Structure 1
Amino acid sequence: MLQADHGKASMGLITGVLALLSIFPPVATDMYLSAMDDIALAFHASETATELSLSIFFLGLCVGQFIMGPLMDGFGRKPPLLAGAGLFILSSIGLLIVDDIATFNALRFIQAIGACSGMVVGRAVVNDLHSGREAARMMTILVMLMTLGPILSPFLGSLLLSSLGWESIFFTMVGIGIVAFVLAAVALPETLPPEKRSATTLPHIARAFASAGSQRAFLLPAIVAGLVQGGIFAFITGSSGIFQGIYGLGNVAYGLLFAFIAAALICFGRVNTRLLNRYEPRQIADAGLPVFALSALALTISASLGNMWLLVLPLWITVGLVGLITPNVVSIAMELGHAGSGIRSALLGGLQFAIAFTVSGSVALGGTDSALSMCLPILIASLLALALWKFAQAGGSDLPRECPSAG
C-alpha cells in the first residue's frame, strides 16, 4: 500500500510525527489545569467561566473531527493537517493576547478544531499505509507515544506555572505546535493520491457520514473502541478525588501514582506489538475483551475493600488493557466500511468522545465518597464492549474472522 515516495520517509519518523500531532489535545487540556485560578484572576472572571474553557475545548474537538475528516478525504492528508496545525498555533498565540474570558473561551473552541486535525490524520494515515497486523502494530506504537502527553503534561504545566506564570503554558503550546508543523511539512508524506480523493460537496459528505454510520461492520467495532477507551477517561476523571480525597495522597504522590498507572498503557502496548507477530488483531481483541471485563470486575470488588494498593493493582491492569485492546479494535474498524478513511476516522473519534463524555460524566455525578464512582462506569463499559463484540461475531455485522494481511 505504500506509494513510491513513501520510501524516502522513515516509518519511525512518520509515526513519531503523527504522535506529536496527536498530543495537541492532552497538551491543550492537561497542561493548563493547574493554572485555572491564575487565569480566572488575570481575566477577573469567575471559576465557572474559566472552567467552561475546558468543556468548550472538548466540544471543539468533537465538532472539529467532523470538519477535518471530509477535508482530508477531499484534499489529501497534508493540506488540511497543516491548516489545522496552523490554526492551533495562531489560536494559541491569540490566547496570550486576549483580555477577557469570553474571547479566551471562543479561542479555545477554535484551538480545539485545529488540535483535532492530528487525531483524525493519525488514524487515516495508518489506514492508508497498512492493514491487518501492521496497521494494528503502528496504531499501538502511536498510542504508546501519545500516552506520554497525558503523563507529562500535568507535571510540565505545574512546573511552568510555578516558575514562569500561566502565560508560559500557552507559549509552550505555541512552541510544540510550531515544531509539529515543521516536522509534518518536511517529514510526513502525502498518503492519499488525487485519484482516491472524494468530492467535498455537502450532499456527498452527508451521504458518506450516513453510509459509514449505517454500516454495522464499521459501527460496532467503533463503539467497542469507544467503550474501552472510556476506561481511561473514567480513570482521569475520578482518580484525583479517590486517591487525594479518599486516600489522602499529596500532589506529588498523586502525580507519581497517576504516572505509574498511566505507564501501564505503554507496558501493555509493548506486549501487543509482540502478540501481533503471531496473532491477528481480531484474535487479540477476542481474548482481551473478556479479560478486560474480568479486571474491571476485580477493580469494582476491590473498591469496597478500603485498601488503596488492592485498588491500584487491578486498576493498573485495567488501564493497561485499554492500551492493548484499543489499537486492534480501531485498526479493524478503520479497515471496514466503504466511506473514506477521513470520514471513518472522524466518525470513530466523534463516537469515542461522546462515549468518553458519558462515562466521564457518570464518574463526576457519582461523587468522591467511594471509589465505586470510578469503578462501576468502567465495569459497565467493559461489559457493554464485550457484549457488542460477541454480537458482531455472532452475525450482527460483517466483522471478518481474519483481517487482511499487511500490504
Structure 2
Amino acid sequence: MSTTTHRSKLKYFQLVLILGFLTALGPFSIDMYLPGFSGIAADLNTTVAKVAMSLSSYFIGISAGQLLYGPLLDRYGRKKPLFIGLLVYILASLGCAFVTDIDTFIGLRFIQAVGSCAATVASIAMVRDLFPVKEIPKVLSLLMLVVGLSPMLAPTIGGYVTAAYGWHVVFLILMGIGMVVLLAAQFGLPHTHEPDTSISLKPKPIILNFWSVVREPQFYTYAFTGGIAFSGLFTYVAASPILFMDIFKVDAKTYGWIFAFMSLSFISASQLNSLLLRKFSSEQMIFGALITQSVISIAFLIAAMNGLLGLYETIGMLFIFLACLGISNPNTAALTLAPFAKNAGSASALMGAIQLGLGAFASFAVGVFVKDSMVPMVVIMMVSTIVALVVLSFGKRKIIVKH
C-alpha cells in the first residue's frame, strides 16, 4: 500500500511541477529581459521607451492568444496545439536573440507571446481535466507558487546574464527553457482530453461557444470578480518603477529586491490559502479577502493623501494588499472553471483574456495618471477592489437562483 501511495504522490508532484513550468513560461518571458532594456535600446539604435513597446506587444499577444487556443485545445486535444505553440515560442525566441531592428523585435515579441500562451491555457485546462473539482483550488495554489517565483527569479537571473553576456543570451536561455518545457510536456503529461470533432473552428460557432460560456452566471461572476480585483496587481507592477525609483529614489538593485520581497507576499498568501481551504469554502475565502483588501486600500488612500507614508509604510501597505490577491485569485479561478467539464479550454482561455485585458487597461491608466505622486496608483487599486466586491455581491444572487 505504502509503495502505491508513494508512487501516486510522486506522480501528483510530477504533474504539478510540469504544469507549473508551463504556467511560468509566460511570466519568465515577461520579466527576464527587463534588465536588458538599455542594452537593447543601444544595440538597436532606439530609445528605452520604444523597447518598452515590446512589453505591450507581448501583452496583446498573450490576450489574443488565449482566445485562439481555447477552441483549438477543445477540438484537437491538449497536446497537439501545445506542441505547435511551444515550437512557435522556441523559434520566436531564437529570432529575438538575433534581431537587428526594433520593429522586428516588437513583432517577434508578439509572436513569442502567442506561442507561450499555448502553455498557459493548456496548463489551466489540464488542471480541470486531471483533478477533481474540490482539488482544483489547491492545485492552482501550487501553480501560483511557481508563477510567483518567476518575478522573483527572472529579473535577477536576467540582470546577471545581461551583465555578463549581454541581452541576446537571455533570449537563447528562454529558447532553451521552451525546449525543456516542450519535452517535459510531451513525455511527462498524459493525454487528458480526447479530440472533440463536434467543435467547429469557424468564427460563428467559436463565438457562440464563448457566448455560452460567458452566459453562465458562475463564470461571469467569478471571472470578472477575479479579473477586476487582479488588475490591482497589474497596477502595482506598472507603477512600481515610478513609485520606488522616481518618488522614493531607490536605486535599480534595491528596486529589484523590493520587487522580490513583494512577490513573497503573493506566494505565501496563495500557500496559506491551501491551509485555510481545509476550514473554509472558496466562496468564504474570496469574500474575506476582498473585504480585507477594501479596508486596506481605503486606509492606504487616506494615509497617502495626508502624506503619512514613507518607503517602509508604503511597502507594508502594498504587501498586505497583494497578500489578499494571493488568497482570492486561486479561488476565483477555480470557481470560474468549475461548471465546465466539456469546454474547459474555452472557459480557461476566456478567463485569461478577461484578466489580461483588464490588467492591460489598469497598467495603461497608470501610464496616464501616475507621475510624481502615489495617490493615483492607490485610487486605481481602491476602485478596482470595490468594483470587484460589488460585482461579486450582485453576481452571487444569480448563481443562487440558478442552483
How many residue pairs align between the two structures? Answer: 395
Kindly report which structure 2 residues correspond to 1:24-173, keeping only aligned pairs within 5 A, or say none. 24-173=25-174
Aligned mates of 1:320, 1:82 — CA distance in 2: 34
Aligned mates of 2:372, 2:113 — CA distance in 1: 33
Aligned mates of 2:326, 2:153 — CA distance in 1: 17
1:352 to 2:351 alignment: no
Helix, strand or coil: the match of 1:107? helix
Aligned mates of 2:72, 2:100 — CA distance in 1: 33
Q: Which moved further from structure 2: 92-101 or 40-49? A: 40-49
Aligned mates of 1:309, 1:60 — CA distance in 2: 36
Aligned mates of 1:266, 1:322 — CA distance in 2: 10
1:318 to 2:315 alignment: no
Aligned equivalent of 2:376: 373
Deviation at 1:298, TM superposition (A): 2.3
Deviation at 1:29, TM superposition (A): 1.8
Aligned equivalent of 2:295: 294
Inter-CA distance 235–206: structure 2 relative to 1 (3 Å threshold): same
Deviation at 1:148, TM superposition (A): 0.8
Inter-CA distance 399–32: structure 2 relative to 1 (3 Å threshold): farther
Aligned mates of 2:342, 2:357 — CA distance in 1: 21
Amino acid at match of 1:284: M
Q: Percent identity?
A: 29
Deviation at 1:339, TM superposition (A): 6.4
Aligned equivalent of 2:193: 192
Aligned mates of 1:163, 1:399 — CA distance in 2: 60
Deviation at 1:347, TM superposition (A): 0.7
Amino acid at match of 1:352: Q
Kindly report which structure 2 residues correspond to 1:155-304, keeping only aligned pairs within 5 A, or say none. 155-194=156-195, 198-304=199-305
Helix, strand or coil: the match of 1:263? helix
Aligned mates of 1:203, 1:11 — CA distance in 2: 39
Aligned mates of 1:339, 1:228 — CA distance in 2: 27
Task: List alignment gaps of at least 5 residues for structure 2.
Answer: 1-6
Inter-CA distance 127–313: structure 2 relative to 1 (3 Å threshold): same
Q: Deviations over 1:8-37 (max 9, x none)?
A: 971221111111112222222211122122
Inter-CA distance 57–194: structure 2 relative to 1 (3 Å threshold): closer
Deviation at 1:396, TM superposition (A): 3.1
- 2:141 and 2:273 in contact (8 A); partners too: yes
Aligned equivalent of 2:3: none
Aligned mates of 1:11, 1:399 — CA distance in 2: 37
Deviation at 1:256, TM superposition (A): 1.3
Deviation at 1:235, TM superposition (A): 1.1
Aligned mates of 1:68, 1:399 — CA distance in 2: 32
- 2:128 and 2:337 in contact (8 A); partners too: yes
Deviation at 1:325, TM superposition (A): 0.6
- 1:9 and 1:189 in contact (8 A); partners too: no
Helix, strand or coil: the match of 1:91? helix
Kindly report which structure 2 residues correspond to 1:321-332, keeping only aligned pairs within 5 A, or say none. 321-332=324-335
Aligned mates of 2:89, 2:119 — CA distance in 1: 10
Q: Which moved further from structure 2: 269-278 or 293-302? A: 293-302
Give TM-score scaled by structure 1 length: 0.91
Deviation at 1:131, TM superposition (A): 4.1
Aligned mates of 1:73, 1:215 — CA distance in 2: 18
Deviation at 1:212, TM superposition (A): 1.5
Aligned equivalent of 2:311: 308
Give TM-score scaled by structure 2 length: 0.92
Which among 388, 393, 396 is matched to residue 398 of structure 2? 396
- 1:88 and 1:110 in contact (8 A); partners too: yes
- 1:17 and 1:183 in contact (8 A); partners too: yes
Q: Deviations over 1:39-75 (max 9, x none)?
A: 2222223444322211111111111111111110111
Task: List alignment gaps of at least 5 residues for structure 1.
Answer: 1-5, 402-407
Aligned mates of 1:338, 1:64 — CA distance in 2: 22
Q: Deviations over 1:331-376 (max 9, x none)?
A: 0001136861111111111100111012112222222311112211
- 2:67 and 2:350 in contact (8 A); partners too: yes
Helix, strand or coil: the match of 1:294? helix
- 2:74 and 2:195 in contact (8 A); partners too: no
Aligned mates of 2:111, 2:163 — CA distance in 1: 27
Helix, strand or coil: the match of 2:212? helix
Helix, strand or coil: the match of 2:335? helix
Deviation at 1:186, TM superposition (A): 1.2
